[in-house]
Amino acid sequence: MQTGVPHQTFSSVNCPRQLRHIVSQSLVAAALSLALLAGTGTRLHAQTGTHQQYEISSITFEGNESFTAAELLGQLTTRETPGAFNKFLYSSISERLGRKNEYFNAVAFHSDAERIKRFYENRGFSMVKVDTVLRFSAEKGTVDLTVRITEGYRSLIEQVVYGGILEYPATIWEDLRRSPKIYPADPYNSQLLEAEVSRVLRVYADNGFPNAQFVRDSSYARRYMSSNNYIVKLVFSPGHRYLFGDITIRQEVDTARGEARREDITDEIVLRQLDFAPGDFYNQSLRLNSERNLNRLGIFDLRSIEMFVPPREDSSIYVPSRITIRPRDRFELAPELLMSDQDGAFNLGAGLGYTQRNFFGGARLFNARVRFQTQTLTAFPEYFRVNRDAVSTLDVTAEIVQPYIFTNAIKGTWSFSFILDKQKPYLQNIFRNKFGFTGRFAEFTTGLLEFTLETIELKKNSTFEASLSDPVIMRQLAALQKQQFNSVLSFTIQRDLTNDLFSPTEGFVHAATIEEAGLLPLALKNVFPQLPFTQFVRGVLVGRWYADRSSHRFLILSSKLKIGIEEKYGESKSDTSRTIPQTHRFYAGGGNSIRGWASRGLIASGEPELGGNLSLEASLEARINLLQSLRDGFLDKVWVVPFVDVGNVWGEIKDFRLNSLAIATGVGIRYETPFGPFRLDWGIRVYDPAAMPGSQWIVQRRLLGDTFAEGAFHFGIGHAF
């Protein structure tokens, strides 16, 4: 064992009297501590002093080649004392803001050292040695803690043997071979062994054996001294194979409030959303899928799906179930206060929504809404005057949702909308009729097929047009069609393997969309020769990735890549009078795009408000839960998010140049809520390809007068991606 002070060594011979007293007291404390803790196999150096408390100045690890310091710190209850600023906040402002001093405790630190040892042993390091070094400073009242680890050989799994596995049904062996948690030649890990046991029990439960048990007494993970590796045997007892039995459906009503059973919500509505039926073999996954199906309906709240599995000693093989639902209000009128980041900018508005649940039976939903939003409040009351620079939208929509089309995996929607879309260069009157079909291809994969018919009347802002001097923008504006009839068929497929809907920390989302426009009006050309339509194809690829680099949601790395391309085809390709509709163009800048620019404020050349045919965006964020250690339920929900965005929009595909990629950076704040985080970002321009040569890079511009003055704030609900 070692104790020490920097540049000094404690001993009863050469220490000053005050230090000799500290050391003598420490020997008593050490003797008591070590007497209590003897036989643990972990070496711990004696605590110096019982009358003086020592703040923990640092905790360091040596020899940890297989695990990071952050992973090992997560095993400790001992913590470093906070910095001066945190101490000030704690003592002078509020205990919720800062952190208190952390003092050394020999018993707690010894337990921490034992925990580190078990952490290694449970991961195959059976010969690990954990030693500790304590360096005290009596003058400063601090101690530096070092944990020295000699990892040794990491044991492998030589063989995995399963016992009690039935040959029938064959799906059991098929499922067992699919994605096991442990493989031969893997490093030994006791946590993964437990995870493998849970996985095998789930396989049994999905094949009709909900009473399957893990026979722990007959199972083992045996390490052989000759190789220092493990042979693992996992034994299971499957029990009876069961079938789904009778299904009872119960409505939960509050008779004290005069509620009565809703006769319009029939048992058939519930039953057709189930993925199982009486007589099917029991399957736990189908039960969970059924819960999700019922929760998605929206006409009631699912209280529970209870499964009454008979005891193992019972001869019955049927599992009856009871489904309890609570109907939601059939009619609902809801005023709305709207704050959103639509188009990547802060929008403020109001709305009114009406919902009728179980519309004409069959669990249909009827929704009607009126929504007004604007980015330019000062334009009141001329939000939709053509020759104003207002940016506003008015949306009146009626929608019917049909939750069951041939199967509960397919949902249909039909909507009709009237939209006023006012942008600075133009005003659009849009009538839109849309049919959509959403289907589940697999547990994490969905598809969306949409068919849209829309007519657009576009009016140009003559004031905006008169102020132009750029010939590229003038040409773009002159090409806009005043009348358009669009027929758009689109298909989107998405695979979502993230672990949270609002704030994912692991996983990815991949999505691809393909659109075709003009096929229907082309077929009707002989009947309606004057239809103003454009033939074009459009494709969008989006990838989002998330990784927790701290293992406890402290640092989340998030990235996004988005590529969009569209082009005219057929007889429209060479016809300059036909343009791709503004509603289907790409735009850049804003809170969900390149955040150094305002919404629709970025383009490689031309007018950004008019968009382009090619889009490329990439973003990287580090989402840091800076005050996580407070764990107070309030401030620990604050995240600091530095970010970098790269990308642009090009008017035509042929205009693409690598040196026209814009670069932005900045920092944001997130505050987590049950319905997603509130977001405030501030972005600045690192490289502006549209600026004059000599002032494109941030180092070529004045920091305050140019870079900061051009910075853009973005507010929204939900993460940027």
Least confident segment among 84-93, 141-150, 166-175, 467-476? 84-93
Distance (Å, rounded) from C-alpha 378 to C-alpha 428? Answer: 21
- The domain boundary, picked from 295, 312, 327, lies at 327
CATH number assigned to the domain comprising residue 271: 3.10.20.310
Residues 6+ positions from 87 with CB-CB distance below 8 Å: 98, 99, 100, 101
* pLDDT value of position 97: 64
Q: What is the mean pLDDT of residues 226-246?
A: 95
Could you give the CA distance from residue 477 to residue 475 in angstroms, rounded to a whole number?
A: 6
Query: How sure is the predictor about 117, in pLDDT bands with cuts at 50, 70 and 90?
Result: very high
Pick 608 or 149 by higher pLDDT.
149
Are 232 and 258 within one domain? no
Range with top average pLDDT, 451-460, 515-524, 573-582: 451-460
| pLDDT category of residue 328 using cuts at 50, 70 and 90 | very high
- pLDDT bin (cut points 50, 70, 90) of residue 571 is confident
Mean pLDDT of 89-105: 74
Q: Does some domain include residue 167? A: yes
pLDDT for 28: 35
For 184, the domain range is 157-237
Q: Is the pLDDT of residue 546 over 70?
A: yes
DSSP for 611-638, please give it: -BSEEEEEEEEEEE-TTGGG-SSSGGGE
What pLDDT score does 6 carry?
35
Q: Is 108 found in the same domain as 59?
A: yes
pLDDT digits (tens, 9 = 90+) for 332-387: 999 999 876 655 567 889 999 999 999 999 999 999 999 999 988 888 899 999 99
Residues in CB range of 334: below 8 A, 6 or more apart: 352, 353, 354, 355
Phi, psi of 219 (to 5 degrees): -105, 155
Cα–Cα distance measured from residue 243 to residue 320, given in angstroms and rounded to the nearest whole number: 9
Q: Final residue of a domain: which of 150, 185, 201?
A: 150
Q: Is the pLDDT of residue 3 over 60?
A: no
Give the pLDDT band (50/70/90) at residue 606: confident
Say yes or no: 9 and 24 in one domain.
Answer: yes
In the structure, how many helices (H) and strands (E) does the chain have?
A: 11, 27
At residue 453 the predicted structure's pLDDT band, cuts being 50, 70 and 90, is: very high
Q: How far is CA 712 from the centre of its chain?
A: 25
Q: Is 663 within 8 Å of 677 (Cβ atoms)?
A: no
**Which residue among 218, 237, 256 closes a domain?**
237
Is 272 part of a structural domain of the chain? yes
pLDDT in the model for residue 166: 84
pLDDT at 43: 47
Taking residues 290-305, what's their average pLDDT?
Answer: 91
Cβ-defined contacts of 509-512 (< 8 Å, 24+): 509/542, 509/543, 509/544, 510/542, 510/543, 511/540, 511/541, 511/542, 511/543, 512/539, 512/540, 512/541, 512/542
User: Which segments within 185-228 are labelled E, that is strand?
Assistant: 213-214, 220-224
Confidence (pLDDT) at 51: 59
Task: Decide if pLDDT at 8 tops 60.
Answer: no
Q: Which of these, 640, 585, 593, 591, lies nearest to 616 by C-alpha position?
A: 593
What percentage of residues in the chain have a pLDDT greater than 90? 62
Q: Does residue 215 fall inside a structural domain? A: yes
pLDDT digits (tens, 9 = 90+) for 122-179: 999 999 999 999 999 988 899 999 999 999 999 999 999 999 888 888 888 888 888 8
**What's the token pair of residue 557?**
């790395």
Give the tens place of pLDDT for each residue, 530-542: 888 999 999 999 9
Confidence of residue 13 (pLDDT cuts 50, 70, 90): very low
- What residues does 401 pair with on adjacent strands? 365, 413
Q: What is the mean pLDDT of residues 172-195?
A: 92
140 and 98 fall within a common domain: yes
Bridge partners, 244 (sequence order): 319
The answer to whether 63 and 147 are in contact (CB under 8 A) is no
Same domain, 268 and 221: no
Average pLDDT, integer, range 489-496: 97
Domain identity same for 137 and 210:
no
pLDDT of residue 343: 57
pLDDT value, residue 342: 59
Tens-place pLDDT, residues 388-445: 989 999 999 999 999 999 999 999 999 999 999 998 889 999 999 999 999 988 889 9
Predicted model pTM: 0.77
Does one domain contain both 212 and 76? no
Give the pLDDT of residue 18.
Answer: 33
Q: Which two tokens stand for residue 278?
A: 């009486």
Q: pLDDT band for position 41 (50/70/90)?
A: very low
Q: Does the residue 129 lie in any domain?
A: yes
Q: What is the dihedral of CA 444, 276, 299, 718, to 10 degrees?
A: -10
Q: Which of 85-89, 525-529, 571-575, 604-608 has the lowest mean pLDDT?
A: 85-89
**pLDDT value of position 345:** 63
Q: What is the pLDDT of residue 628?
A: 81
Mean pLDDT of the chain: 87
Q: Are 590 and 345 in contact (CB under 8 A)?
A: yes
Report the share of the chain in percent with pLDDT over 70: 90
Confidence of residue 526 (pLDDT cuts 50, 70, 90): confident
Kindly state whether residues 64 and 189 are assigned to the same domain.
no
255 with 313, same domain: the answer is yes
**Mean pLDDT within 567-574:** 90
pLDDT at position 94: 65
Q: Which amino acid belongs to residue 519?
A: L
For the ranges 29-38, 159-168, 289-298, 314-323, the lowest mean pLDDT is seen at 29-38
Examine residue 654 and state whether it is found in any structural domain, yes or no: no
DSSP 444-500: TEEEEEEEEEEEEEEEE-HHHHHT---HHHHHHHHT--SEEEEEEEEEEEEEE--S-
Between 565 and 28, the more confident residue is: 565
What span, in angstroms and rounded, lies between the C-alpha atoms of 131 and 711? 52
pLDDT value, residue 344: 52
pLDDT value, residue 389? 87
Is residue 521 scored above 90 in pLDDT?
no
Instruction: Specify whether 19 is located in the same domain as 128.
Output: yes
Mention every residue, 6+ apart, whose C-beta is less than 8 A from residue 579.
479, 480, 481, 534
291 in any annotated domain: yes
Q: Count how many domains the chain has.
A: 3
- Reply yes or no on whether the pLDDT at 49 is more than 70: no
**In this structure, are 227 and 181 located in the same domain?**
yes
Domain annotation covers residue 210: yes
Indicate whether 228 and 249 sit together in one domain. Answer: no
Q: 676 pLDDT band (50/70/90 cuts)?
A: confident
Residue 300 lies in a domain: yes
